[in-house]
Structures are given as structure tokens and as C-alpha cells.
């Protein structure tokens, strides 16, 4: 689904102008890229905060409307106030339909409960990565990337190279490594409990063997005592 938002041209710049803008409920921003010069803009702060809560706003091609014209852009940076829920500045980049874009794609994990790690081994799955760097043409940009965990077990983590990508999308890697996306580990408490149960079972077996041993040994001793009594009677 296409996401649209409205921006307005910004005629004044500088820290003082930005402070006055924020007091008026506006957020300063800029649009850059392409063959057009960077354009300072302002947005309604509350509408922007609401849009930023939507994951797709961060990872989709957006349609920005300014003065009746529409431009295809990507959200590139958001500067937040250190302790207030306030946007200080926002950057958008114009896109060219014929040129590949590089950005971070969010990961959505599925089938975790069906994996051998969880279903049969009682493991806890850790999502080591929540997004990956991808490259693609704007038309191929996915809103998110599905990561199937149905085959995950504790013996082998899931690596980036095993993630199935949508058509036209490639992963941008740095170096020759193959980063881990997800792992499955059996909790320490569960391992200790299993070891304890095994030790208790062995102890119970040993105790049972010890308990029966004196009975078996008592029979020869009793036989000797009976034999001694018989000898005394003969005398």
C-alpha cells in the first residue's frame, strides 16, 4: 500500500527558525538527491510522529506532496530530542526509478514455534539481527523480509546466506563473513534439570542395588550358622 504524506516549503533556516517552528507544532526537514537542489521542508509534528510509529514508513517508497506536486522519496534519517518525544529534524531522499537503492530492510520471523529447536528441544530463539542491508530497484523494495525458522535447531544457527530474499533484492555484505541472523539455545536451567534428573535416576538405581545386596549376602552367612548349630548338636 502506497504511503503518502504532506510537507510544506520552508522559507526560513537556522536554529532560531527551527525553534520557532517546533513551538508552532512543526518539524523541520530536508529533501535531497536526484538532479534537483536540496529543498528545506516542514511537516506537521503530530502527523510525523504518528507516521514514524508505522514500520513501513521507514522501509517503503513514500509519496511526498508539496505544493500540489508529488515526489517519490525514502526516509533516510530522523533526529530525535535526547529526552523529549520530539523530532528535531528529518531527512528524505528523492529516488530514481532506474537506479538501485541501498537501505536496511526489517526482518519478520515466522514459524519459530514449529522449529525443532523449540518444538522438541525446548530451546529459546534469539533474533540476533532485526534488519539487514539490501540493494534493489525502487520497484522491488520489500516492506519487510520474511525469515523462516521452521528448520532451526540448536546445532546450527541461521546465517544471512540462508535467508530467502524477494526477487530483485540482494544483500549488501561487508567483508567475507556470513553474519548470524538467529540462534537457538536450550536454557541453562533446563540443562541442569535434565542433568539432575539423570543423576537422581542413577542414584536411585544404585540405592536399589545396595538395598538388595545384604539380603543376597545374608543367605550364605545364615547357612554357615545353621551348619555350626548342627555340628554342636552332633557333639
Q: What was the pLDDT predicted at 148?
A: 96
pLDDT in tens, 217-229: 445 555 555 655 5
The per-residue pLDDT for 13 is: 75
Q: Do 6 and 65 touch, CB atoms closer than 8 A? A: yes
List, in order, residues 6 or more apart from 47 with CB less than 8 Å away: 5, 6
Q: What pTM was estimated for this model as a whole?
A: 0.74
Residue range 3-25, pLDDT digits in tens: 999 999 988 777 778 888 888 99
What pLDDT does residue 218 have?
A: 47
Q: Which of 80-89, 140-149, 172-181 has the lowest mean pLDDT?
A: 172-181
Q: Which of 32-36, 129-133, 149-153 bottoms out in mean pLDDT, i.e. has the lowest?
A: 32-36
Average pLDDT of span 26-36: 92
Q: What is the 3-state secondary structure (H, E, C) of the chain?
A: CCEEEECEECCCCCHHHHHHHHHCCEEEEEEECCCCCCEEEEEEHHHHHHHHCCHHHHHCCEEEEECCEEEEEEEEEEEECCCCCCEEEEEEEECCCCCCEEEEEEEEEECCCCCHHHHCCCCEEEECCCEEEEEECHHHCCCCEEEECCCCECCECEEHHHCCCCCCCEECCCCCCCCEEEEEECCHHHHHHHHHHHHHHHHHHHHHHHHHHHHHHHHHHHHHHHHHHHHHHHC
- Of residues 46 and 11, the one with the higher pLDDT is 46
Of 100, 97, 160, 90, the closest CA to residue 135 belongs to: 100
What's the pLDDT tens digit per position in 196-205? Answer: 555 555 555 5
What is the reported pLDDT for 34?
85
pLDDT at residue 176, rounded to an integer:
74
Residue 157: is its pLDDT beyond 70?
yes
**Are 117 and 153 a contacting pair, CB within 8 Å?**
yes
Q: Is the dihedral of CA 200, 204, 209, 215 positive or negative?
A: positive
Task: Determine contact, residues 142/101, Cβ cutoff 8 Å.
Answer: no
Amino acid at each position: 500500500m502506497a504511503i503518502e504524506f504532506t510537507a510544506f516549503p520552508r522559507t526560513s533556516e537556522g536554529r532560531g527558525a527551527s525553534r520557532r517552528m517546533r513551538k508552532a507544532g512543526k518539524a523541520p526537514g530536508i529533501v535531497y538527491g536526484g538532479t534537483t537542489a536540496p529543498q528545506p521542508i516542514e511537516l506537521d509534528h503530530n502527523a510525523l510522529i504518528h507516521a514514524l510509529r508505522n514500520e513501513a514508513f521507514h522501509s517503503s517508497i513514500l509519496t511526498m506532496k508539496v505544493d500540489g506536486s508529488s515526489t517519490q522519496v525514502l526516509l533516510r534519517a530522523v533526529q530525535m530530542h535526547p529526552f523529549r518525544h520530539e523530532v528535531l529534524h528529518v531527512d528524505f531522499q528523492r529516488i530514481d526509478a532506474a537506479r538501485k537503492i541501498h537501505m536496511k530492510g526489517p526482518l519478520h520471523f515466522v514459524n519459530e514455534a514449529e522449529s525443532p529447536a523449540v518444538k522438541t528441544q525446548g530451546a529459546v530463539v534469539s533474533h540476533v539481527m532485526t534488519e539487514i542491508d539490501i540493494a534493489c530497484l525502487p520497484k522491488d523494495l520489500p516492506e519487510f523480509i520474511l525469515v523462516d525458522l521452521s528448520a532451526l535447531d540448536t546445532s546450527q544457527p541461521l546465517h544471512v546466506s540462508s535467508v530467502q530474499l524477494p526477487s530483485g533484492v540482494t544483500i549488501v555484505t561487508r567483508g567475507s563473513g556470513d553474519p548470524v541472523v538467529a540462534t537457538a539455545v536450550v536454557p541453562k536451567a533446563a540443562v541442569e534439570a535434565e542433568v539432575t534428573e539423570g543423576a537422581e535416576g542413577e542414584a536411585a538405581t544404585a540405592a536399589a542395588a545396595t538395598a538388595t545386596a545384604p539380603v543376597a549376602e545374608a543367605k550364605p552367612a545364615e547357612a554357615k550358622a545353621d551348619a555350626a548349630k548342627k555340628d554342636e548338636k552332633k557333639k
